[in-house]
Structures are given as structure tokens and as C-alpha cells.
Structure 1
Amino acid sequence: MKIYCFTLLFILSTFVKAQNLPKDYLSKEFHKERREALRAKMPANTVAVFFSNPVRNRANDVDYVYHQDPDFYYLTGLKEPNSVLVIFSEKQTNAKGLSYNDILYVQEKDPRAEMWNGSRLGEEKAKTELGFDYVLNTGAFITSDVNYNSFNTILFHNFKDDYRDGRSSTDLYNLISTFKKKVGFSKSDVSPIEEQVYKVIKATPIENSANVAQNIGSYTVTYPELNNNDQIKKYINAKDDSERSDVKTYILNLEAEQPKYNTKMLGGFMAELREIKTAEELKLLTKAVKISAQGQIEIMKAMHPGMSETEIQGVHEFVYKKYGVEYEGYPSIVGAGANGCVLHYTENNKTKVDNDLVLMDLGAEYHGYTADVTRTIPANGTFTKEQRAIYDIVYKAQEAGIAACKVGAAFWESNAACQAEINKGLLELGIIKSLNEKHNYLPHGVSHYIGLDVHDTGTYGPLKANSVITVEPGIYIPEGSPCDEKWWTIAVRIEDDILITKNGPVNLSADAPRKADEIEALMKKSSPLDKFVLPKID
């Protein structure tokens, strides 16, 4: 009876825990459909191999909180490290007669490791929860008899080599090392400039090789790394056609001996897929954006000159956590005064913001999808005359940039619209002397895609419906700039996340006020945090 009760309690507690987990992750059907969409782009008789992100060390025996590779998550839904996804362009059959078109390799179940670091899905749960028909542990990847040479092309992302050799024989280090050996991978094989020179050598008739060798020799001025390739160096310095013929033969034989792998094609395919968001993705991304906008709203009410940059950051991130956000999408930027002129300022250690403008560029990452929202507000609640003048130029520029976000428009059209308004406004204030003056007051582009990355992958071609981009013009006037000193240390950026639709742009982050008057009005309201006072600690 006691055993029965204990078992029942265990089942009930497990059920309760399951009930308390988020229910709005991407569905397994989404990930499967995305794999099919990639497969449709793959050439015949090809295989694509994806590796999970490495575990990155923070210091000593402490690692950073793990974050999955976006492409890997997009195609699998798996959040665990030390994993591999293999996708085939056509159906395959294993020795037991099982038919499949992809394989997911996951970490083996390990009670001791799970006691320290949490539960692992394992093979069976990966099948049911992630929707895979064929799942093996990573040890099977090490011993796999997949003949990569039998495929016309092997697709994978080039390796960053930012992973450690851990204690496990099936960690990412060993998974990648094994794969490199199986496909004959070496860094020199995939150097873009060496590939280009090899193509030229292969395509050149021997009777023309002397002139081509001279041309290739001139490349070494711009690309000195070519001098490290013995065959290219031999071709350049050859005494006659015979020696250059030997090099050409070597390259042709090398190509025949090595699998035909490609480290660039896959990036293009994934950019095309991830640029256009599905309805499921837009729901999560929109929630991330709205949460980020709410963070801006709450700090507008709570802001006062005695706050520190760190405290301001904390308010934003507290709001994120109240909504169940797992991570910040990128290191939070809170720059008061001159610190706002540093585009990616992340120290956030100024102890009092005083009466400065405070530039706040932060984004919540909700279930993998990252917002990117920036507001600039006066710490004391009221813009000075100079601050307001700069702010209004940036606002006007952003309005022009958002209006340019139409289906079919060139990706950089919003940038041109913003730059034109910035230049016009700076000229009117006397900060620049002509509309065509080269300056560094807006040193960055104003748009990028967002999604599973804050700077998400995409084609950067004409804008397409259901893509989401930022529009983030700014003006930054560091101390010592060639203008009247009254403008020095003013930094303003306004950034919103814009959904491209057939009916025009939709500002997903519009909840957070952008107009100067609206910001000042909101900053007069009380905040729930006004009464949150902690004892002083020396």
C-alpha cells in the first residue's frame, strides 16, 4: 500500500510539474515542416549536417548558461548541447530496413550527470516530444557508417573552433573531430580565395598557364595567405608548363579524392527560410517585443536622477522575468550622457544618471525569439532645449524610415530615408555645414532582421511580407565633436521592431511611447517601484 501511495504521489507530482511548464513553445510540427522546407531547397543526393552550440566556459568550473545554436533549434526544437542533426535530400534505409530522411543524435541518458545538470531527453523522448522518427545517441554518430563520399555534396556551416575538449568521448569536440575526419575536412580546403585560385588553375589550358600564373602572383599582394599554400606557390614560381601541369593535376586529383563539401550553401538556404516568419514564430516574436516595450514603459515611470545605470538595467530585466522570459536577447545597453555615444556600451556602471539623457537599448528573448527596442529619455523627466532638438530630429528620421518599410522596397531604403532627415536636421541646427557633409553623428545602418538572433539571418534583398526588421536611427555627439559645445554628450537612439506586411509596416513595439511629449507625460506617473526601498549596505 505504501509503495502504491508513493508511486501515485510521484506520478501526481510529475503531472503537476508538467502542468506548470510553459505551453507556448514552437510545436514539433513547426520544426518538422522547417526541415521539409530546407530539404526542398537541397540539391539531389546531398546531406546537411548541423551541430549544436558548444558549452562555453565562464571561469574555472563554471559555464555560461547554455544557449542553443539558432539554426539547430529552428530545425529540431532541442535545447541540449552535444547533439547533431543530419538531413538527407532523399529517403535513406538502414540495415534493419527502416526508412528515414533525417537523424537526430542526442546525449545519452546519464542519471549521475542529470542529477547535477538536469534531465536529458534521451532517444525515446526526443522521438515523442520533438517529432523525430529516427533518433540515436551521440555515440552512434561517432561509430556511424554513413558514407559521406556517396553524396554529391555535403552541406555544413564552417567551424568556429570555439569548443573545448571535455571529459566525454561524445562531447561536441569529439563529434566534430570525427566528422572532420570522415569528410576529409581541413581549413585550407575551404579558404575562399584558395578555392577561387584552384578554380582558375583548373579552368586554364596549359598553354595559357604562364600568363595566369603571373596574374595569380599579383593576388598575393592583397592575399598574402596564398603564399602559405605550397601548390599555389609552386604554380606561381614554376619554370615551365610541365611544372604548372603537375600542379593542375594535383588539384584535380585532390578534388577527386575528397568529398564535395560546401560550407557556404547552407547559410544561404537558412537565411531564406528564417527571413520569413511563420504565424507561430510571429506570435512568439511579437510577445518578446511587447514585453520589451513594457520594460521601457515601467522604467519611464520609475526613472529618477539618483538611479544608476545598473539599476535601470535591472528594472527592465525584472519586467522580463515577470513575463517568463528566459534570457536577454543580447547584453543590455544603458548609457547615460556621454556613455550613450558608445554604440554597444554594456558596462552600465555609472552610479548616478543625474540630469542626463539615458539611452536604453534592451530586448527580451522569449522562447528563442529576440526583440530589440531602444528608447532615450531624460532622467529628470524633462528634455532640455538642446536634448529636445536632437530627439525630435531622430524621431522624424525614424518616422521616415518606418514609412519606407514596404514589401518590395530595397532593404536599405529605410536607412537612406533616415539619413536624409538626420542630415537635414543637423544642418538646420548648424551642427553640419552642408547636406553632403561627411560626418560620424549617425555611424551605423538603421535596420537589421530580428528573430532567433537579434541580428537575424536574412537575404538583405527586397523586403518581404512577414519579415521583421528594426528601424533605429540615432544621433551621437561625443565630447570634442566639431560643433558647438552645447551639443556635446547628447546621444539619442529610437529603435522599433517593424513587421513588413502587404498593407504596410506594423510597429510591434509601439506600446512604448516615442514622442517627446508622450515620454514626459508618462514619466510624471507613479511607479510600483517607488516604494521598493532597500536598506543601505556599506
Structure 2
Amino acid sequence: MKNLLIFSFLIFSICIIAQDGTSQDYLSSEFHQGRREALRAKMPANSVAVFFANPVRNRANDVDYVYHQDPDFYYLTGYKEPHAVLVIFSEEQVSEDAKKYDEVLYVQEKNPQAEMWTGYRLGVEGAINELGFNRVFNGKDFLNNAINFSEFESVLHKPFTNDYRDSRDPADLASLVQSFKNKVNIKSIQQNNDPLGLEVKQEIAAKKDVNVDTESLYTYMGELRQIKSPEEMKLLKKAVRISAMGQIEVMKAMHPGMSETEVQGIHEYVFKKYGSEYEGYPSIVGAGNNGCVLHYIENNKTKLEQDLVLMDLGAEYHGYTADVTRTIPANGKYNAEQKAIYDLVYEAQEAGIAAAVVGNNSSDTHKAGLDIINKGLYELGIISSPDEQHRYFPHGTSHHIGLDVHDLNTRGSFQPNMVITVEPGIYIPEGSDCDEKWWGIAVRIEDDILITENGPVNLSSEAPRRAEEIEAMMKKSSIFDKLSLPELD
């Protein structure tokens, strides 16, 4: 068998690598600028939109989780660091030095000592040169900025969370958010009746009528993000292909003596091999009855034995997240009950994919699969009537993917260049009201589907879906077959 690296290089020739070994296929500053312009076109007259970077989140004591930027903030800026603010105006503003502008970016300040510990910061100059902004300031300047929010008909922002991590930086996110809250609730007025004829500014700590809108940005950003541009599709397709390759490699490596954690490790090794920075969501590897827990992430069963193994994993590549699920037999062969359920889910998924066309919506993909599953469960004697309400298919069938695994959208009809999942499933936990031979069988099949004018395109079809195709793939040799580590006490 060819080495995985060689095989993968032939498949993934689309990856662009610079001489220093870093990937160069990130979104361009022109893309992000275009997204800001598109948002500005949707904003009401005389309005301002304020976006905050994601907070740094604490894992334990002095250890934080790996930082991940807020998807909207990244979409509009390309900036990946914390403690930042983006302000977008619907119309041009004029600065004190008579310069016109319609957006301002506030970034965390350069700090050589901090950068020695936590990494390079773009700073003001880097944000101007690399992100294409003309007006950039350090975060501390936001604390004292002269924006008078009372002058705008609408002040748009998303609701705040309460998980801001205190830091030694006086311009950390908590300070930036508090400063903004103060500004939209405190009125600044000028007094011109000073006996010396001097202009005096007085801040009145009282509520004022500022039209704060915490809802519209969800609509505007959903309208933008649900339609994927060619630049986005390049990254999203790569995330999907990486995820499909992970499924293929696990199919070849799987054996009954493996653990759920080992399976997760193979998937995530493949993700990293192809340049995926993160998993798009916590990896789900559920063997047997564990697969009946929809978001099972413990992945701690030590032996797969003869179980079906439900694997729902998605690579995140340059911000864009895939979502691909396969359910395979640990021993390489579906037994009669496993195959009956698997084939039923496969038939439902085929119907759901066929319904993923322009003008339909997620209700259509769900109903197409649900009707088949209900009829099939009745014919197998698992439910007493095809109209019976049951819990064996408890979730929806489709959601959008993109910068989020459940990506922003307007919940409307499918349009060209949307990307959705189609993921029917059947889950029969132990103790269910049916023959015991079905207990512990859980099957989900999930693919990422591009909506086009010419019908649905399955972006993750590289990973086998039919039961016979999966069994054939599982007979192939794997580069992991000879991997052997000593046992630990």
C-alpha cells in the first residue's frame, strides 16, 4: 500500500504551501473588506454596528482553553486575536483631523513581554498592513474614544455573555465591553453658559434613549453567511475532504480490540496531517449503546468488540467546519440487525439528499427521511404503527455548516451556494420497548451537501456510505496496522 503521505499529497494538491511551510490559502483581506461592505449595505440609515472578539475562556487555574475567534468577527476582519472591537458605520464619519472613515478596528496592543509567553500580536501596524484596515487603534483607545452613540438612530450589537476572563491588560475584553455599556447609557452634553466663556463637558450618569438593537445583526449576518462565496467554498470543501479522509483511514484501521479513544485519535491525526487547526466540535465516537447518546463525547469505552461504531467528526480548516458521520461495524461486517437498521437510514438519507434542492427547506429534507424511517421501523416490528410517535429518530435532519458547525442562516428556503448537512439516524437504546435484538443499535449517516441550481452535490461522498462499500473498505490494509506501543501498567 502506498504511504498515506504520498496518497494524500496526490489527493490534496489544492493546498498552497509557502517556502516557510505555512499554508497560504487563507481568506484575503479583500474578502473580509467585501463582507463589511455587504453588511453596511444592510444596515439602516444612521446606524452603527459594534462587534467584540470572543472572550478568553479559562480551563483551570492559570490554564486557558485554546483561543478561538468569534466567527462573525473573523468573517468581517480576519483578525484572530482576543480583546478587540470592530465598529462599522452605515455612513461616512469625519474625524477631528477632517479625515473620512466608515469603520474602526481596535486591537490588542503590541507587548514584547506578553508576546514572549503567548505569541506574536499584529498590533496596529500589522492590522493595517495585513488586514487592510485604514483606521486602527489599540484597545485602550476604545476606552476613551469620542464616538457619541446617542447620535445614531440604531446601535447594533449582539447580546453579551458573562464569561469574560479578567487579565492584567487594562484594555481586556471585560473593560472594552464595560466601556461600551457605559457609553450607550450615559449622555454627554456640552454646557456653553460658563461665566468664563469656556466649553465644559459634563457626563450625566442617567439612562438615555439610545436605540440599542441586539437582534438585527443575527438576521444580517445570517443572510450573508448562509450563502458561501467561491473563496469560502475552497476552504469548506477542504475541511469536508479532510473529514472524509479521516473516516476512510479509520475504516481501514478499525478492529474489535480498539478503544473509542483510539478511533478518535486516528481521525484527529488525519485532521492535523492535512493542516486542520481544530476539530469543528467535540469528536463523537460512540460504540454500541454509547451511540444512542446524540452528543456522546466521553469516548472512553476500552473495547469496541462486535459493536457498531458511530463516528461524528468534523475538521475545521482555516475557520470552516465540516460535519461528517459514518457508522461502521468494529469487526468489519454488519450483522443482520445492524444491516437492517443501517440500510433503512441509508435509504432515508438518500431521500433527504434528493430533497435538498433550491426552494425546499430543512423541513422537506427531514420529512423525506422521516417517512421512510417510520415505515421501515414498522415493517421491522420495532414500532406498532408507521404513525406512532417514537424516540428512535429524535433530531432534525439538516443544518447549515460554515464558520460554525451549526452555521448562521435565516431558516428560509434553500438557495444556491448554501451548504447543509443531511443526517438521519436511528437510535435504539438498551431497555427500549422492542425486541432485545435491536437494543444498542445506533446509526447515523451524515454528509455535507452543496445546494446548486442543478441539484444537490454531496461534498463528502469520498467516504463510503453504502454498507457493502464500507465493508470492502474495511478489508484494506492501513498504515496504522503495524503501529505498536508498549503496554503501560
Shift of 1:33: 0.1
Q: Look up the equivalent residue of 1:479 and give its one-letter code.
A: E
Q: Which amino acid aligns with 1:513?
A: P
* Aligned-residue offset at 1:99: 1.2
Could you tell me which runs of 5 or more consecutive residues in structure 2 were left unpaired when the two chains were aligned. Answer: 1-16, 187-205
Query: How far apart, CA to CA, are the structure 1 residues paired with 2:59 and 2:18?
Result: 30
Matched, 1:168 2:169: yes
- Aligned partner of 1:450 among 398, 401, 404: 401
Partner of 1:81 in structure 2? 82
Indicate conservation of the 8 Å contact 2:429/2:440, yes or no: yes
**Match in the other structure for 1:402:** 353
**Aligned residues, how many?**
455
Structure number with larger C-alpha Rg = 1
Q: Give the Å deviation of 1:17.
A: 8.7
Aligned partner of 1:423 among 374, 393, 408: 374
Equivalent position of 2:458 in the other structure: 507
Aligned partners of 1:97 and 1:69: how far apart in 2?
A: 33
Per-residue deviation, 1:40: 0.2
Partners of 1:65 and 1:410 lie apart in 2 by: 35
**1:54 and 1:294 mapped to 2: Cα distance?**
33
1:258 Cα deviation (Å)?
2.1
CA contact (8 A) 2:287 2:304 kept: yes
The residue aligned with 1:200 is none
TM-score by length of 1: 0.83
* Map of 2:39 onto structure 1: 38
Q: CA deviation at 1:167?
A: 1.8
Residue 219 of structure 2 corresponds to 268
Q: Deviations over 1:349-371 (max 9, x none)?
A: 00000010000000000000000
Counterparts of 1:198-277 in structure 2, within 5 Å, are 257-277=208-228
- Deviation of 1:257 after TM superposition, in Å, equals 2.6
Q: What is the aligned partner in structure 2 of residue 233 from structure 1? A: none
Query: Residue 472 of structure 2 aligns to which amino acid in structure 1?
Result: A
1:442 corresponds to which letter in structure 2? F
Q: Among 294, 297, 300, which residue is 1:346 paired with?
A: 297
1:118, 1:131 → 2: CA distance?
22
Q: Whole-Å Cα distance in 2 between the matches of residues 160 and 306 of structure 1?
A: 44
Q: Does structure 1 retain, via aligned residues, the 8 Å contact 2:18–2:24?
A: no
* Aligned Cα root-mean-square deviation (Å): 1.4
AA of the residue aligned to 1:144: N
Partner in structure 2 of residue 114 of structure 1: 115
Aligned residues with identical type, % of pairs: 66
Partner residue in 2 for 1:356: 307
Q: Which moved more, 1:157-166 or 1:39-48?
A: 157-166
Matched, 1:390 2:341: yes
Displacement of 1:256 after TM fit? 9.1
Name the counterpart of 1:140: 141
| Aligned-partner Cα distance in 1 for 2:379–2:21 | 57
Note the C-alpha offset of 1:127: 0.8
Q: Distance in 2 between matches of 1:98 and 1:474?
A: 58
| Matched AA of 2:171 | T
Give the equivalent residue in structure 1 for 2:189. Answer: none
CA distance in 2, matches of 1:17, 1:490: 47
State the distance in 2 between where 1:30 and 1:517 align: 43
Q: CA deviation at 1:411?
A: 2.6
1:368 corresponds in structure 2 to 319
Tell whether the 8 Å contact from 2:58 to 2:64 is kept in structure 1 after alignment: yes
Letter in 2 for 1:163: Y
| Corresponding residue for residue 281 of structure 2 | 330
**Cα distance, 1:166 vs structure 2:** 1.9
Alignment pair present for 1:309 and 2:260: yes
Query: What is aligned with 1:473?
Result: 424
- Alpha-carbon distance, 1:87 to partner: 0.2
Partner amino acid for 1:444? Answer: H
Which one-letter code corresponds to 2:105 in the other structure? L
Aligned equivalents of 2:60, 2:410: Cα separation in 1: 37
Kindly provide the CA deviation profile for residues 309-340 of structure 1, in whole angstroms up to 9, marking residues without a partner as x.
00000000000000011000000000000000
Q: Which runs of 5+ in 1 are unaligned?
A: 1-15, 186-254
2:20 corresponds to which residue? 19
Retained in 1: the 8 A contact 2:185–2:207? Answer: no
